[in-house]
Structure 1
Amino acid sequence: MSKRSIIPAEMQPLYDDWHMSPGLECDGFVFLTGVNGVATDGTVSPDAAEQIETAFVHVKSVLSEAGMSFDDIVEVTSYHVGIRQHLEIFRNIWKRLVTEPYPAWTAIEVAGFASEGVVVELRVIARRRT
């Protein structure tokens, strides 16, 4: 089994400070660390749509660093605080970004996250095309 860290330049502090890879490739799969809507400068927008967009920008950044795209995603689990208030926003952003065949997706309501004010976090698994 071979493993390789995937670290976009703007996420190097996550690797250094938290000792975790933004993405980890293992045997053709790329596992992303929980991706939320916290901006790279550490700020959290009070706007759910902006947070969700930011989370997907982070996902794109990790996938791009790995030479991949949203087309390579095979599974997403989205965790939400206040899911009923922003699920439709999430779905509209999702529809704009994913293409057929669609990845598997599970949405789960949670009580909260480590960062105050965060409303969404994404668990993403992608697979390199052979």
Structure 2
Amino acid sequence: MKRQLVNPAGTEATYDRLHFSQANRVDDLIWVAGQVGVDPGTGRPADGMDAQARLAFDGLRTVLEAAGAGLADVVEITTFHTDLRGEIAEFVRVKDEYLPDRYPAWTAIGVTQLALPELLVEIRAVAVRGSGSD
């Protein structure tokens, strides 16, 4: 077994500056680092939970695809929220669009802050490549 670092195109600066990979893959297991709602074009957080959650899930999908997997292969998510009670319903609506069935295990955690003051949510995941196909 050999560990593979997964850093899709466009994430190299994060790897170089902050010294972490977007994901690590060992065989079919993939651990994805926290994904946030930052617009890749502007580098700024999107406005509101809906937009941030969508960008975070889009980032998660991109990292998983670079690791040879997809959203259907996600077996666990951990989400971090700066307003867990106030925005959880909106987050769930978006989550269910990206993970519409065969729901992964999920832990939601309320936090006082994330990496940028405007961030509302961060999503990390564990996936098993090929587990989402029937």
Alignment match, 1:49: 50
Rounded Cα–Cα distance in structure 2 between residues aligned with 1:69 and 1:36: 18
Q: TM-score when scaled to structure 2? A: 0.90
Identity percentage over the alignment? 31
Residue identity opposite 1:76 in structure 2: I
- Offset, 1:89: 1.1
Tell me the equivalent position of 2:106: 105
C-alpha separation in 2, matches of 1:80 and 1:93: 14
Question: Which of 71-80 and 84-93 deviates more?
Answer: 84-93
Q: Provide the TM-score with structure 1 as the length reference.
A: 0.92
Gaps of 5+ in 1: none
Q: Counterparts in 2 of 1:40-119, with a 5 A limit?
A: 40=40, 41-119=42-120
| Cα deviation, residue 85, structure 1 | 2.2
C-alpha deviation, 1:88, in angstroms? 1.0
Gaps of 5+ in 2: none
**1:65 offset after TM fit, Å?**
1.0
Q: Tell me the C-alpha RMSD between the 2 structures.
A: 1.4
Query: Residues 22-63 of structure 1: CA distance to partner in whole angstroms, max 9, x if unpaired?
Result: 111023211111111122232012312111111001001101
Cα gap change, 1:99 to 1:44, in 2 (>3 Å):
closer
Indicate if the aligned counterparts of 2:45 and 2:119 stay in contact, CA closer than 8 A. Answer: yes
C-alpha distance after superposition, 1:78-105 (max 9, x if no partner): 1100112211111111111114321101
* Length, aligned pairs only: 130
Runs of 4+ in structure 1 deviating by more than 4 angstroms, as ranges, are none
